[in-house]
Structure 1
Amino acid sequence: MATASPSAARLFPPASSRRLSSYWLAIVLFAVGMFNLPLRLIGWDGDGLPGDGIDNVLNNYMLEHGYQSLRGRASFWHAPIFYPTPGMTGTTDPHIALMPFYSLLRVLGLSPERAFQGWFILAFVLNYVSALWAARRLGFDPAPAAVAAFIFAFALPVTSQVSHAQLLHRWLVPPAVVLAWQFLGEPTHRRFALLTTCWFGQFLLTAYIAIFLAELLLVFLVLTGLRLYRNLPWSELFPLRVGVWLTRLLIILAILMAVGGIVLRHARVSGVMDREYLILWAPEPLSWLACHPTAVWNAVAPALGLDLGNVHGERRLFPGWVPLLAMLFALGQIRRSTETAEGRRKVVVSLLCWSSLLLAIWITRFGQVWLYEPILSLPGGSTIRVVGRIVLVLLFPLGLASAELFTWVLSRSHYLARIGGIFLLLVLMAEHAVLPTTWVQQWEGQRVSLGQLVRWQERLEQAIRQHPQPRLVYVFPSELPPAPELDHQYYRLQVVVMRAAQNVGIPCVNGYSGYNPADWDIFTSYRELFHWLTKARRVPAGHLRGLVLIGEPEPDVDPEYEGIMRQTYPPLPLPPWD
């Protein structure tokens, strides 16, 4: 490796330096990323709950449900929503591995909403530290490693996923990649156990990311075997020893049994996703150039003749021009010699980038051609509703590629190395900046603030407690909370009721999650509600004593029936949504 110029060496200290000062760029990039995204979403006054006021509240509900389960006040796998349907925890991310973190914040005295904010911030901290550690383990100097960590933790696709905060806890992805590479070079029982345990830990964090991670590792292992077939210790990877295979088999079986139990719980309560819906959300080629409306590129693209306005939501996968340029650079390193540690690192990064490229092509729909579509016909193939979310895993290879590009720039023995490194850093930070656009201001005006959300919940709690013995609650959608779209208004009502009922300590017929139970609907009348309770779910009349109804039901076709129901279950007024 060529020696960097003295000026560049001072700006970007070498890997041999163990002093804290050698990580100054890592500290700067971490601060920039944190202030740009998570802290900005929460707000300087601490009044923001990151997300759209629906999925973020659902995540808050499930985390609180896990905390109450640890305290013995709830049954973990039976979240009391969509009453009386059992097993509702399996319809969404159960946050098994995240319960200890959230619960610790609750034990320290934080409210559920404040604990959720801490849980949200923790994802960025752990993602950054994890990626920084992994990049260093692969041989990068502190400065390039910081670039890799910045991209993994704060890149544009992360901004597009703040409404699905459960996907942000990806901090076991970088260690899993490092362990996979180390296992190929030294296939010991310990490394195999660490690799599989790391993947299982990511599954417990969020199954979505674990599935995408498995796909990346599988392609990476295959490509590595093809590229380095002369260098790998095949006799140790596939030994003719029964004890080795038995140990590996036992480890795999233990993990499969644990995963299978969770998957079966999900399968019992979830339905099959509509094929057309899955195709609709499949990424298209332009998706890889579309980004969140707050980014600089979103303002520049139309001037270049690119119409990205029709690419919405989770199909915005643009990772930034620096990562894309770096990936192209890394792809060309595939033929590097592996005689040195530096050469092996370059080849590993190149193999990860080739793996990412193949996966991106696989999930992208080119007109009527979608290579991923046959997966939908397999059992469980429709479980992944939005395959474009794999970009959250691919950000680590892209980050490593960017680190490799920075390393190459700084290795040039020329004074322009410093200028080139600083320029790339400035471009990287600029293209990932969240701009104060009109769209952002409108979005912030429509989102639910923490204070407003708590007020809504407290008003509903007070209404519920008006009943002498509240045991169950349902809120009719006679008036809806504010939201950008009508569907979102209905969903927001459900999650606010869920949290209010949770605080009171009773189940609710209202509900929202990834999958609705069969025959459940947003009931608007007595007849619809009691058909669900007494006929569809056969709830005994005695179990409905203490049913609290809030809001005004729609008039029934039979006035006598409605009169009896109103007398038996009088509806309470719905508190205002101001």
Structure 2
Amino acid sequence: MTIHLSVVRSQRFKSLLLYSAVAVLGVFLGFHPTLLSGFSKAQAELGDTRLVHYLLEHSFQVVVNQNYHAELWTPAFFFPLKNTLALSENLFGAAPFYWVLRGILPADLAYQCWMILAALLCFISFVILLRSLQISHALTAFGGFIFAFGFPRMGQLFHGQLLCQFYTPIAVLFIWNFLRKPTENRFYLALLFIFLQILAAYYHGWFLLFSLLLFVPIVLWLEDHYRQNLLLFLRRKWRSTIVAILVWISALIALFLPYLKITQTIGVFPFSQVETMLPRLASWLLPPQNSLWSPLLSKLFDSRLDPNQHLLFMGFTVFGLIAFAVYVVRFRPEVLTPERSILVKASLITAFILFGLSLEIFSFSLWKVIYAIVPGATAIRATGRIVYMIEVYVLAASLLCVDGMLRHRIAKPKFRSAIALTLLLISLPELIIFQPMAYEKAPALKLESELQASISSKCDVAYLVAAPGTGFYLQQIPMMWAGLKAGVPVINGYSGSVPAGLPRTIEESANFPTVVQWLSGRMQGRLCWVQSTKTSQLTPNIPVKSIDGAIQTQSQNFTTSVIPVPPNVPLRGFTQAIQAEVPPVIQANQAVKVPLLLRNTSLYTWLQTKEAPLNLSYRWLKPDGTIALDNGQRTPIPESIAPEETVALNAVVRAPETPGIYRLSLTLVQEGIAWFSDRGAKSFNATVEIVP
């Protein structure tokens, strides 16, 4: 007995050593720029990588910081829009791991460790799945390596949310065990892990649920015994099953209510946008740059499409395993037990259906039907991410077939392990990215700190004008981080969607009236308008000094102007200059057009706002100066008029009904505030005879 326990412990130690070695190898290959730089370099880039980190840090601040300026579902970007978290992944199911790390590490280091931990969790969860299917340790380690550290996952590290698939293998395992032998606990755990996967990463969760809607019926179709067991379970446990499903659906509804609310504001992705991201055949052969096959296979891809959304290459080793699984099912079924045979067939069929549904050939794809009829599909833009779910099924099926064949043909476990490890060694060269994407953290953090200092303690809201020379969206992220650290909401933002009414290009970014219009009616306070010191004007023809109440501060790279919002409620210095051609004689009650020139003689830019719009109007005065007719018709002025700028207008003027001699007084009026002429501005006056 003692000898037997010693052997078991020795085998367990060797297995643990194998898994640890493979995991360490995977971490090094996937994250060697981070590790070799001593964590001074971060993976992978300054766009989505920093956004995912921002979302995790936001949730951490909500949990631990009582004075945090934002709400859980409304991180303070795209301010003052509500539910902005629903524009991206919320990462709630993966965030607690970051919170623990963040409690002991600085934010940037915590995120780097979180990425490595997420990959390790994918490795562990897939190992649990394969070992539960009684696949050998060596093949299990190989499968965990491919799933966690292979392609396409490591090729898309710039989409950090795609690391969060560690609940999927466990959910599939519980579903499979439930179909084999239905029990309440297995059913509850399957629902729990499906929900956790949706909570951790919406794309992975949705594709998991969608694939299970195929996988479960296929299993029941293949095996009558499973079908009978399920029906018997439902007859006996129908009440608890219905309650569990209702609770699960209620939790999903609660989770997605903010998404439904934001959809009412911004709409859903049009299929024309989804269509550009549908996988093509060449997408499945597109490896990441700087990998073994990249120089050869990248030539097959359509350069008009965004390659970052089509990196679906899993490696020729995986393709070979899939072909081997098909061969075993077709020609060597005897190497599989009946139970394994069902799982292999169901997994392969599910994977091939997912592949066919998402594929676009000759501008045709069945995904258009899925987009139209399946709930939640309209939120799926990057359809190619279905590859991660396909990989779960094909790896499980393929490794079951390899394991079955090795057990059938080779008696000694050592030889079987040697073949499995050989597979790992064969796959390594094509899964290595020789120069992965990475950036130095120090310059990025320095830029964010400078922006943070530019807006701290003096802003109610801040906005950064995008400067030429750098991508528009890459300039939004530093300002979002600066706002988070300074406790100041920002109008800038970066996510899966951009709300209508906000700038979307560098050219639009400097449009001051657009930004003011975005805030109009939503807030009053101090706007920090931040721009590069290389830019001399806020916008064309609107110098900084012309903004009402602007206070300027300057740092090494940025000029910050603190501006009241709305900037002209009320206007300071009601001054104007009007020249007009008024007919000397007008018929009573007749409406005439009066051409005029209006010049802004104040020191401030006139801007239109919803609260207090500017219009040109008039009064009819009697010869003694008393008002005969007040509140004449309004003529709107342009969106903005800079100091000393002159605009031409055609004012519509209606004559009094009573004939006589009158004086027409033309002036601006700021609605709800004052008539310019009542604040000392010189109006244009002309004597007019009103005739019958």
Matches within 5 A, 1:120-135: 120-135=115-130
2:460 alignment counterpart: 471
Alignment match of 2:442 (pick from 451, 474, 478): 451
CA distance 1:308–1:138, change in 2 (3 Å): same
- Distance in structure 1 (CA, Å) of the matches to 2:449 and 2:216: 53
1:205 CA displacement: 0.3
Q: What SS is found at the alignment partner of 2:463?
A: strand
Query: 1:486 — aligned with what?
Result: none
Match of 1:373 among 368, 371, 376: 368
**Taking structure 1 as reference, are residues 313 and 322 closer, same or farther at Cα in structure 2, changes over 3 Å only?**
same
- Equivalent positions of 1:413-428 (< 5 A) are 413=410, 420-428=419-427
Task: Look up the match of 2:353.
Answer: 358
Identity %: 23
Distance apart, 1:143 and its partner CA = 1.1
Deviation readout 1:187-230 (Å, 9 max, x if unpaired): 22211111011100011101110011112212111110111124
Alignment-derived partner of residue 504 in structure 1: 486
Structure 1 unaligned runs (5+)? 1-13, 482-488
Higher helix share: 1
Cα deviation for residue 337 of structure 1 reads 11
Q: Distance in 1 between matches of 2:288 and 2:540?
A: 48
Q: 1: distance between equivalents of 2:459 and 2:263?
A: 32
Inter-CA distance 130–417: structure 2 relative to 1 (3 Å threshold)? closer
Alignment of 1:195-214 (within 5 A): 195-214=190-209
**1:494 has 2:485 as partner:** no
Structure 1 residues 491-542: Cα deviation after superposition (integer angstroms, max 9, x where no partner): 11110011011111111111111111221115303323212222xxx134xx
Q: TM-score, normalised by structure 2?
A: 0.71
Amino acid at match of 1:75: E
Name the CA distance, whole Å, in 2 between partners of 1:324 and 1:374. Answer: 28
**3-state SS of paired residue (1:545):** strand
Segment drifting more, 566-575 vs 365-374: 566-575
What one-letter code is carried by the residue in structure 2 that aligns with 1:189?
E
1:172 matched to 2:160? The reply is no
Amino acid of the structure 2 residue aligned with 1:528: T
Q: For residue 648 of structure 2, what is the aligned residue in structure 1?
A: none
C-alpha spacing 1:451/1:555, structure 2 compared with 1 (3 Å): closer
2:522 pairs with 1:531: no
Other-structure match for 2:530: 549
Larger-Rg structure: 2
Alpha-carbon displacement from aligned partner over 1:224-269 (angstroms, at most 9, x marks no partner): 0111124441432432665244334434333333344354245345
Paired residues, number: 537
Mark the CA change 1:147 to 1:123 in structure 2 (over 3 Å): closer, same or farther: same
Correspondence 1:321 to 2:316: yes
Change (3 A) 1:309 1:275: closer
Residue ranges of structure 2 left out of the alignment (5+ in a row): 1-6, 560-692
Distance 1:27 1:104, change over 3 A: closer
Relative to total residues, which structure has the larger strand share, 1 or 2? 2
Contact 1:157 1:316 in 2 (8 A): yes
CA distance in 2, matches of 1:39, 1:150: 16
Q: Is the 8 Å Cα contact of residues 465 and 529 (structure 2) preserved in structure 1?
A: no
- Measured in 2, the distance between the counterparts of 1:283 and 1:313 equals 12
Equivalence for 1:434:
433
User: C-alpha distance in 2, partners of 1:480/1:463?
Assistant: 21
Cα shift at 1:270: 4.0
Cα deviation per residue 1:537-557 (whole Å; 9 max; x = unaligned)?
x134xx323635343474656
Q: Is the 8 A contact 1:329 1:401 kept in 2?
A: no
In structure 2, the CA distance between the partners of 1:150 and 1:266, relative to structure 1 (3 Å rule), is farther
Map of 1:216-235 to 2, 5 A cutoff?
216-232=211-227, 233-235=229-231
Please give the secondary structure, in 1, of the residue aligned with 2:377.
Answer: coil
1:69 aligns to 2:51 (yes or no): no
1:212/1:393 contact within 8 Å kept: yes
Amino acid at match of 1:500: A
1:403 is displaced (CA, Å) by 2.4
Task: Name the CA distance, whole Å, in 2 between partners of 1:323 and 1:434.
Answer: 17
Q: Describe how 1:555-574 pairs up with structure 2 within 5 A.
A: 563-565=545-547, 567-570=549-552, 572=554
The CA distance in 1 between the partners of 2:262 and 2:196, in whole Å, is: 18
- Partners of 1:56 and 1:26 lie apart in 2 by 28
SS state at 2:158 partner: helix
Distance 1:152 1:42, change over 3 A: same
